[in-house]
Amino acid sequence: MNIAVLVSGGGTNLQAIMDRIHDQTLHGVRIVSVISSSHTAYALERARKHNIPSRVISKKEYPDLDAYDGAMLEALTGSGAELVVLAGFLSLLGPKVVKHFSNRIINIHPALIPSFCGHGMYGIRPHEAAIKKGVKISGATVHFVNEHYDEGPILLQKSIDVLEDDTPESLQLRIMNECEQVILPQAIQLIADGQVCIEDNRTYITKNEDRTVRSK
């Protein structure tokens, strides 16, 4: 399965995907494009080191959302991507992209949806909210993407205990290492193996031999 990975920052989750492909834990998957919303994202350098085609598509460089949406759609379809993976991508995708890749876009969110999610909940903010709320567990969620922030069907979640001496920064690091970088490659593999069915906004993991996400 050909995948495009969309990024905005350092690309640690991109690196995790590349590492799992390299050690063949993630198999039958090829990254055909890395697209960044920022010219300064270190994820671009990670892509270059692995000879993966990369480019920048920044919303602020287009006159309106429709033009940005069209440029993103052209880049994704032109790359041959079958699945779009948002790995720390901070921009909301436009309706053309979401419609064309319906049930073929996934995102990793650094909290257990429906907690600490939605517009503005990115980076350190979900972890600050978790510490402030005093939750005892937190984690990460892989979900399919629709037109709204963090509202698509949930595919995988993984949790860890929130320690009494955790800070937002320490919690962020542990969730990244112990949750995000574990379940994101797992989710990609499930989809590549045709084991994901979506029905009534819920996902089910099946044992079928299909090579595409099925939707009822």
Write out the catalytic residue numbers.
Answer: 109
Q: pLDDT tens digit string along 156-198?
A: 999 999 999 999 999 999 999 999 999 999 999 999 999 999 9
Provide the pLDDT for residue 207: 77
Number of other CB atoms surrounding residue 157 within 10 Å: 16
Provide the pLDDT for residue 208: 55
Class of domain 2-215: alpha beta
Kindly state the tokens that stand for 124: 């350190």
Q: pLDDT tens digit string along 24-54?
A: 999 999 999 999 999 999 999 999 999 999 9
46 φ/ψ sector (left φ>0, alpha ψ -120 to 50, else beta): alpha
What are the residues facing 108 on neighbouring strands?
A: 142
pLDDT above 70 (res 132) = yes
Reported as a pLDDT band with limits 50, 70 and 90, residue 216 is very low
Provide the pLDDT for residue 98: 97
User: H/E element holding 71?
Assistant: helix 65-79
| pTM score over 0.75 | yes
Among positive and negative, which fits the CA dihedral 122, 23, 145, 205? negative
Provide the pLDDT for residue 171: 98
Which whole-number Å values give the CA distances from 192 to 9, 15, 196, in the listed order? Answer: 25, 19, 9
Q: Are 89 and 38 in contact (CB under 8 A)?
A: no
Query: What one-character-per-residue DSSP string does 3-21 give?
Result: EEEEESS--HHHHHHHHHH
What values do phi and psi take at 35, rounded to 5?
Answer: -120, 125
Q: pLDDT tens digit string along 76-129?
A: 999 999 999 999 999 999 999 999 999 999 999 999 999 999 999 999 999 999
Domain ranges of the chain: 2-215
Provide the pLDDT for residue 213: 54
